[in-house]
Chain A
Amino acid sequence: MAPTSEPILEVRDLVKHFPLTQGIVVKRQIGAIKAVDGVSFDLHRGETLGIVGESGCGKSTLAKVLMALERPTSGSVKIKGREIAHARGGELKRMRRNIQMVMQDPYTSLNPRMTVGDIIGEPYDIHTEVAPRGDRRKKVQELLEVVGLNPDHINRYPHQFSGGQRQRIGIARGLALQPEIIVCDEPVSALDVSIQAQVINLLERLQDEFNLAYIFIAHDLSVVRHIADRVGVMYLGKLVELGKDTEVYDKPAHPYTQALLSAVPVPDPEGRELRERIILQGDPPSPANPPSGCRFRTRCWKAQEICAEEEPLLQIRPGTAHESACHFAETHDVVHIG
């Protein structure tokens, strides 16, 4: 699944600030939460881009902006060369057929008062041109089968299914319009580990079957490593490292990525001794008031004066094969396990 064709999704300098206001009648803006602050990447057909980062780094906001559920403050999101971030009305509705989403919590993402048939069939009710009315029920049953559920359960309600089965229903709903891109916002983090594997494998199978491109957002590094072709690491609204999964995991260049990887549990007791542990000090700074220059400098052991003055750009740096945003980037295998 190497990126071959031109990108199906192009994100450029995407910024989403949430204004902080004060006052009841006359609202004055006194600042902004810089949830996403200048993110750029490409996504190719059939490819999986993993986005990792800790809570509050802007992953979910990024997903909402990509889905045009939130309007970006600035920047652009292009699907097959067409701008979705500023599309409206019928144009936006047509573009939504190409980008769909699988949500994190399978318990709240399905309307408890709709049958599974109505939930998965809703995309066809909204986009009536996709399937003629008489075919919809059959299509829903096909989708149930595709995601590994019993098509006879079409008249059941969400509460009659387990968490993993509900997530499959959510995936079937996402597939209904035959999109080319699916944004998965932490699709397995609410599930048991054994069920996680099944859902991940289902996502991989569907990718092969329908040539889907995934944006796979997660905080679990090992899940992302399993499914992603490329990985982007986010910190405080910015991508700090972006590269092929092998590059990012085996040769991390950014100190934050190295610290993240050093915290991944190693199952092998032999290698565990060799691993370095990098313990970061403090909490991430507030996204309302991020540090000047490099955002990671307040917790970085390599930080020097330049880090406070000049913002490091996400680019390929000497000695590394992939993009990273650090003035002192150098590859460093923290895990030491082949």
Chain B
Amino acid sequence: MSDIQQPAQTLPPNAPSGPPLPRSTKKEGKPASLWSDAWHDLRRRPIFIVSAILIAVLVVMALWPSLFTAIDPNDPRTCELATARQGPSGGHIFGRDNLGCDVYARSIYGAANSLLIGISTTLATSLIGGMFGLAAGYFGGVTDTLASRLTEIFFAIPSILGALLIAATFRGGPLSSITLVIIALTVLGWPMTYRIMRAAVITAKSQDFVVAAKALGAGHMRIMMRHLLPNALAPVIVIATINLGGFIAAEAALSFLGVGVTSPDISWGLMISDARNRFLDAPLPLIFPAVFLSITVLAFIMLGDAVRDALDPKLR
């Protein structure tokens, strides 16, 4: 240990290093960051490409349903009671439902409301729960106590009963029934995200790199956004994508109870709840919207998985 040796374990410049490196790190000239590297990585993941295509198709379906079907289910003339629960045929490939309306067209037109409810509620719960969870986990003390007690109040409310109460109380007001469903599901859904975010932040904040950032003089915002959030995001993404399907299904439950989306509006949830009375005679009017729902949920779960993996440099 006498004189200073050039460190032997340092890789000599330009030498090939052991494990193959992710492509993005080869371009040493350009600055890399977690998000740009994650994007580079995402674009090459098949699971991301598949889920992105699925979601793109669903979004197009929600915005311009007439591209997919010539029948407009909002027009009552397209329904014929006499042909109720008819099986698939040339003009009506998914058959007809209890009221003789075309199941395929209704499934296409239902995408808009179902996606709107699922995505808005997921974004709202993740933002609200995530923000409160981040702040409560980081600051601890009084902030944490207040936020945690508040979430416990919401946890104590049975969710269907609570949503029913919110949706029924404000029904007929200035807000549309879909907005009410989104609000009701958000109010009752954010505590779950809050808890997961808070727990992940508490784990992350005890690590030395947070102490190191403080020693450098980093402010609260920098520590939360640059150090804690990226390290606490993974479980929140997972739970958010799983919840997305849950919210679309919860809308169905509310519709069934008469406070969610109601006829003549169309949503997958409504279609499922309408069809289930006659499920044994005519399973198809239930199965087709359920398949749409499952594909949507699957696409978002795959997207969430891909994003989570891309945000972890160790998995690239």
> What is A's interface to B at a CB cutoff of 8 Å?
67, 69, 92-93, 96-97, 100-101, 103-105, 108-115, 117-118, 122-123, 125-127, 137, 148-150, 152-157, 159-160, 162, 164-165, 168, 170, 173, 177, 195, 197-198, 200-202, 204-205, 226
CB distance from B62 to the nearest CB of A (A): 33
Residues from chain A with Cβ under 8 Å of B216 in the complex: 96, 100, 122-123, 126-127, 173, 177
A126 and B227 CA atoms in complex are apart in Å by 13
Within 8 A of A (CB), among B249-285: none
A-B contact pairs, 22 of them (CB 8 A): A69-B211, A96-B215, A96-B216, A101-B215, A111-B226, A111-B227, A111-B230, A113-B34, A113-B311, A115-B32, A115-B37, A126-B222, A150-B11, A150-B12, A155-B28, A156-B25, A159-B313, A160-B25, A198-B7, A198-B8, A204-B4, A226-B1
Residues from chain A with Cβ under 8 Å of B222 in the complex: 125-126
Of A110, A117, A150, A197, the residue contacting B209 (CB under 8 A) is A110
Query: B213: CB under 8 A from chain A?
Result: yes
Given the interface pairs A115-B37, A198-B8, A201-B4, the reply to whether A109 lies near B212 with Cβ below 8 Å is yes
A177 and B217 CA atoms in complex are apart in Å by 11
Nearest 4 pairs between A and B by C-beta? A157-B313, A155-B32, A109-B208, A93-B217
Which residue of chain A lies nearest to B28 when distances are taken between CB atoms in the complex? A152
CB distance from B72 to the nearest CB of A (A): 49
Which residue of chain A lies nearest to B11 when distances are taken between CB atoms in the complex? A150
In the bound complex, do residue A101 and residue B212 qualify as a contact, i.e. CB atoms below 8 Å apart?
yes
Within 8 A of A (CB), among B1-36: 1, 3-14, 19, 21, 24-25, 27-28, 30-34
Given the interface pairs A108-B207, A123-B216, the reply to whether A117 lies near B32 with Cβ below 8 Å is yes
CB distance from A238 to the nearest CB of B (A): 25
Within 8 A of A (CB), among B219-262: 219, 222, 226-227, 230-231
Bitwise interface map of B from 170 to 213 toward A, beta carbon under 8 Å scored 1, else 0: 00000000000000000000000000000000000001110111
A279 and B120 CA atoms in complex are apart in Å by 69
Query: B45: CB under 8 A from chain A?
Result: no
A198 and B7 CA atoms in complex are apart in Å by 6
Residues from chain A with Cβ under 8 Å of B211 in the complex: 69, 103, 109
Which residue of chain A lies nearest to B313 when distances are taken between CB atoms in the complex? A157
Residues from chain A with Cβ under 8 Å of B43 in the complex: none
In the bound complex, do residue A117 and residue B31 qualify as a contact, i.e. CB atoms below 8 Å apart?
yes
Q: How many A-B residue pairs have CB under 8 A?
A: 129
In the bound complex, do residue B8 and residue A96 qualify as a contact, i.e. CB atoms below 8 Å apart?
no
In the bound complex, do residue A164 and residue B7 qualify as a contact, i.e. CB atoms below 8 Å apart?
yes
Query: B218: CB under 8 A from chain A?
Result: yes
In the bound complex, do residue A195 and residue B208 qualify as a contact, i.e. CB atoms below 8 Å apart?
no
A105 and B210 CA atoms in complex are apart in Å by 13
CB distance from A260 to the nearest CB of B (A): 21
Q: 13 other contacts beyond A92-B217, A159-B314, A195-B9, with CB at 8 A cut-off?
A: A69-B211, A96-B216, A109-B212, A111-B209, A125-B222, A126-B216, A126-B219, A148-B6, A152-B28, A155-B30, A168-B10, A202-B4, A204-B4
CB distance from B227 to the nearest CB of A (A): 6
Which range holds the interface residue count of chain B?
Answer: 35 or more
Residues from chain B with Cβ under 8 Å of A157 in the complex: 313-314
A100 and B212 CA atoms in complex are apart in Å by 9
CB distance from A290 to the nearest CB of B (A): 27
A100 and B19 CA atoms in complex are apart in Å by 33
Of A69, A159, A160, A205, the residue contacting B214 (CB under 8 A) is A69
Residues from chain A with Cβ under 8 Å of B31 in the complex: 117, 137, 154-155
Given the interface pairs A112-B314, A156-B21, the reply to whether A198 lies near B32 with Cβ below 8 Å is no
In the bound complex, do residue B37 and residue A201 qualify as a contact, i.e. CB atoms below 8 Å apart?
no
CB distance from A9 to the nearest CB of B (A): 15
CB distance from A195 to the nearest CB of B (A): 7
Residues from chain A with Cβ under 8 Å of B80 in the complex: none
| Max count, chain A CB within 10 A of own CB: residue among B8, B28, B311 | B28
Residues from chain B with Cβ under 8 Å of A204 in the complex: 4
Residues from chain A with Cβ under 8 Å of B30 in the complex: 155
CB distance from A133 to the nearest CB of B (A): 11
A297 and B233 CA atoms in complex are apart in Å by 52
Which residue of chain B lies nearest to A196 when distances are taken between CB atoms in the complex? B1
| Max count, chain A CB within 10 A of own CB: residue among B12, B34, B209, B211 | B209
Given the interface pairs A115-B33, A201-B1, the reply to whether A103 lies near B212 with Cβ below 8 Å is yes
Residues from chain B with Cβ under 8 Å of A112 in the complex: 231, 312-314
A294 and B82 CA atoms in complex are apart in Å by 100
A155 and B33 CA atoms in complex are apart in Å by 8
Residues from chain A with Cβ under 8 Å of B311 in the complex: 113
A159 and B6 CA atoms in complex are apart in Å by 22
A112 and B222 CA atoms in complex are apart in Å by 16
A94 and B206 CA atoms in complex are apart in Å by 25
In the bound complex, do residue A115 and residue B11 qualify as a contact, i.e. CB atoms below 8 Å apart?
no
CB distance from A221 to the nearest CB of B (A): 15
In the bound complex, do residue A155 and residue B212 qualify as a contact, i.e. CB atoms below 8 Å apart?
no
A120 and B56 CA atoms in complex are apart in Å by 39
Given the interface pairs A117-B32, A137-B31, the reply to whether A201 lies near B212 with Cβ below 8 Å is no
Of A123, A148, A160, the residue contacting B7 (CB under 8 A) is A148
A1 and B25 CA atoms in complex are apart in Å by 42
Given the interface pairs A155-B28, A201-B4, A204-B4, the reply to whether A165 lies near B9 with Cβ below 8 Å is yes
CB distance from B252 to the nearest CB of A (A): 38
Given the interface pairs A108-B209, A164-B7, the reply to whether A126 lies near B218 with Cβ below 8 Å is yes
In the bound complex, do residue A127 and residue B217 qualify as a contact, i.e. CB atoms below 8 Å apart?
yes
A101 and B217 CA atoms in complex are apart in Å by 12
Residues from chain B with Cβ under 8 Å of A154 in the complex: 28, 31
Residues from chain B with Cβ under 8 Å of A162 in the complex: 9
